[in-house]
């Protein structure tokens, strides 16, 4: 992925998946973010905290299986 601020490459600092230990304090916020955003929709996800080494900008990304999107999901009008 590319940094939205400076265009450099983003690196993964940490990641968690739907089967991760939810009591692990260090990444509780990553797990909480994924559950809030896609937990209502799918039980399978990967959430990653990414950061730019050049400027320090950071973001979280959530990945879900492609077949979840293709099987019954339709965008709201």
SS (H, E, C) 4-17: CCCCCEEEEEEEEE
Q: For the segment 16-53, what is each residue's pLDDT rounded down to a tens digit?
A: 888 776 656 667 788 888 888 887 778 888 999 999 99
- Per-residue pLDDT band at 75 (split at 50, 70, 90): low
Nearest alpha carbon to residue 7 among 54, 59, 58: 54
Nearest alpha carbon to residue 62 among 28, 39, 53, 73: 39
Q: Please list the alpha-helical segments (H only) found in 1-77.
A: 28-38, 66-70
pTM for the model stands at: 0.71
């Amino acid at each position: 992925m590319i940094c939205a601020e400076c265009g450099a490459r983003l690196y993964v600092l940490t990641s968690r998946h739907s089967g991760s230990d939810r009591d692990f304090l260090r990444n509780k916020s990553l797990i909480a973010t994924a559950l809030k955003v896609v937990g209502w929709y799918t039980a399978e996800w990967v959430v990653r905290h990414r950061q730019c080494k050049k400027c320090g900008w950071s973001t979280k990304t959530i990945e879900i299986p492609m077949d979840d999107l293709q099987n019954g999901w339709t965008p709201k009008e």
